[in-house]
Amino acid sequence: MDPREADPSPAHAVEAGLAPALDAWASHLRWERNLAAHTRRAYAGDLANLAGFLAGRGTADWALVDHRDLRAWLADLHRRGAERTTVARRATAARVFFAWAVGTGRVPHDPAAALRAPRADRNLPPTLDRRATAGVFEHLAARIAAAEDPREQAVALRDAAIIEVLYSCGLRVSELCGLDTGGWDADRRLLRVRGKGDKERATPLGVPAERALAAWLAVRPLLAGPAAGECVFVGERGARIDPRVVRRIVHATLAAVPDAPDLGPHGLRHAMATHLLEGGADLRSVQEMLGHASLGTTQIYTHVTNERLRDAFRQAHPRA
């Protein structure tokens, strides 16, 4: 088992009466809900925090928790300076946990059903404008042309394909790292992507990204080792590329481009969505391409594009 997939026990340093339910819930999230490892770790940490708070108040039984306990917990987080996003996520974790606990008969009522948390700020990090995006791909082309030996060129072609695919398809870094060669449908110009919750979707692949991917796959044997299997992208040790390596590649590439903000792979996903909506794509299509379960998650990008429209109006309209 990959050690990154292992779930930390959320029950450590928790009253014995609270621990068994947390361990059972962690198993439920993994084997029944099939949540991603980082999501499970976040939820485990959230509930361990709640359990520690309850234990400090002398509560050692989930069935004794009421709505006031949960509100006191969120208020304590706020007093300690927790970010609004953290408080909102922990409230969500509590609602998910208690809904499961009621459904499995572990508690008689759901104290989190009406739990409210401060609305998380919905601000996007800085993103690439179109000029900076063009500069990124010009830099990548120059790097390929300047490569002095086949292996160096293979690394440059791989990095270019990574950036192209991230931007063309709006993939999460975990989705990019999980790509297999059999998932590219060249005839239909689609990539099959396995996203959150192990859900599969097909996303269109732009022509420049197709060319970059084909160029990389042609030289992939120079880097791929026996452990590579069918993965599309490999690290320099020859196995499936690690998300941390992809993040380093993206940061280093953008750092070489004047006026480009310091972004990671998720910043390219934001840029793709924003540029699609600015170009006239409908929200539902963008939702499908990004693999968002809820249209509400995608709607944040309409806020960004609307703000840009307002800025353009204020700057250009004589009666703004």
Concatenating the DSSP letter of every residue in 125-154 gives PP---HHHHHHHHHHHHHHHHH--SHHHHH
Position with higher pLDDT, 170 vs 146: 146
Q: What is the pLDDT of residue 125?
A: 58
In which band, very low, low, confident or very high, does the pLDDT at 266 lie, cut at 50, 70 and 90?
confident
Mean pLDDT score across all residues of the chain: 83
Residues above pLDDT 70, as percent of the chain:
80
Q: What is the DSSP letter of 203?
A: E
Residue 22 CB-density burial (10 A; 0-12 exposed, 13-18 middle, 19+ buried):
buried
- Point out the catalytic residue in the list 89, 90, 158, 301: 301
Whether 172 sits among the annotated catalytic residues: the reply is yes
Sign (positive or negative) of CA dihedral 63, 64, 69, 73: negative
In which band, very low, low, confident or very high, does the pLDDT at 13 lie, cut at 50, 70 and 90?
very low
Query: What would the two tokens of residue 56 be?
Result: 């400090």
pTM of the model: 0.61
- Are 304 and 274 contacting, i.e. CB atoms less than 8 angstroms apart? yes
Q: 56 Cβ partners below 8 Å, 6+ apart?
A: none
- Point out the catalytic residue in the list 158, 269, 270, 275: 269
Position with higher pLDDT, 12 vs 205: 205
Q: What is the pLDDT of residue 275?
A: 80
- Point out the catalytic residue in the list 196, 201, 247, 308: 196
- Are 122 and 303 contacting, i.e. CB atoms less than 8 angstroms apart? yes
- Are 205 and 190 contacting, i.e. CB atoms less than 8 angstroms apart? yes
pLDDT digits (tens, 9 = 90+) for 70-97: 999 999 998 898 888 888 889 989 999 9
Secondary structure class of 211 (helix, strand, coil): helix
Whether pLDDT at 12 is above 50: no
Whether 301 sits among the annotated catalytic residues: the reply is yes
Whether 196 sits among the annotated catalytic residues: the reply is yes
- Point out the catalytic residue in the list 89, 143, 220, 292: 292
- The 10 Å Cβ neighbour count of residue 214 is 13
Whether pLDDT at 63 is above 60: yes
- Point out the catalytic residue in the list 95, 158, 172, 270: 172
Query: What would the two tokens of residue 145 be?
Result: 């042309």
In which band, very low, low, confident or very high, does the pLDDT at 172 lie, cut at 50, 70 and 90?
confident
- Point out the catalytic residue in the list 106, 192, 266, 308: 266
Task: Assign residue 291 a region (left: φ > 0; alpha: ψ between -120 and 50; beta: otherwise).
Answer: left
Q: What is the pLDDT of residue 14?
A: 53
Q: What is the pLDDT of residue 253?
A: 94
pLDDT digits (tens, 9 = 90+) for 120-164: 555 555 778 888 889 999 999 999 999 999 999 999 999 999 999
Whether 33 sits among the annotated catalytic residues: the reply is no
pLDDT digits (tens, 9 = 90+) for 193-211: 887 767 788 888 889 999 9
